[in-house]
Amino acid sequence: MRDGQRHVAGQGPPVRVGFLIFTDYARGAIRLPALMEIPVIYVWTHDSISVGEDGPTHQPLEQLASLRAMPGILVIRPADANEVAEAWRVIMPLRHEPAVLVLSHQVLPTQVRARVTVEESSTHGWHRYAGTGGAILGMEKTFGASVPIQQVQAKFGFEPAHVIEAARDQLARWQRE
């Protein structure tokens, strides 16, 4: 109701902020603006298993796929600071559509463009972006672990050296083609 009042009063889009894992509790409140075509902006953080020490209860795996499956809502998960800035350029002019901006808890470097997706969560839906020859690093068959972030990243292949190796392999493949 508050979202509709703010929208009707011309006060700009309401913004809601929280941890991605807790979107399950807000499912109805997220879905309603999509049905009503109200431009609410949701900013969800702590988007992956890299929250580490909090353990699997705070590591969102299926939440992102669930939000992407919801009709009438734009979901953007930027990979770096440049993409965050671009996401805001896309979101701010929206007048009839809620948007979800999913951000990392970690500081992310600016990315080199290659056909590599890194999803410290479910890889559901990423095949269409990576393509048939792209590399997809993600969580396919398990939940995270209750250990420090460096151990989680090493255990599941998200340490920087592995991601860099995947990107280099993709760049080398791209140069051969």
Residue 111 domain-assigned (yes or no): no
- Which strand ranges, in their side-by-side order, compose the sheet holding 41-45? 15-19, 41-45, 99-102, 74-76
121: in domain:
yes
Alpha carbon distance 56, 52 (integer Å): 8
- Does any domain span residue 108? no
What is the rounded distance in angstroms from the CA atom of residue 5 to the CA atom of residue 22? 24
Residue 107, in any domain of the structure: no
Residue 111 in this model has a pLDDT that exceeds 70: no
Among the candidates 102, 127, 157, a domain finishes at 102
pTM beyond 0.85, yes or no: no
Residue 25, judged by CB atoms within 10 A of its CB (0-12, 13-18, 19+), counts as: exposed
Provide the token pair at 53.
């020490």
Q: Residues of the chain with pLDDT > 70: what percent? A: 88
Q: Is residue 134 part of a domain?
A: yes
Neighbour count for residue 76 (Cβ, 10 Å):
16
166 vs 107, more confident: 166
Share the mean pLDDT of the chain: 84
Q: What domain range includes position 58? A: 2-102
Pairing state between β 116-122 and 74-76: unpaired
CATH no. for residue 134? 3.40.50.920
Q: Which of 32-36, 50-54, 99-103 has the lowest mean pLDDT?
A: 50-54
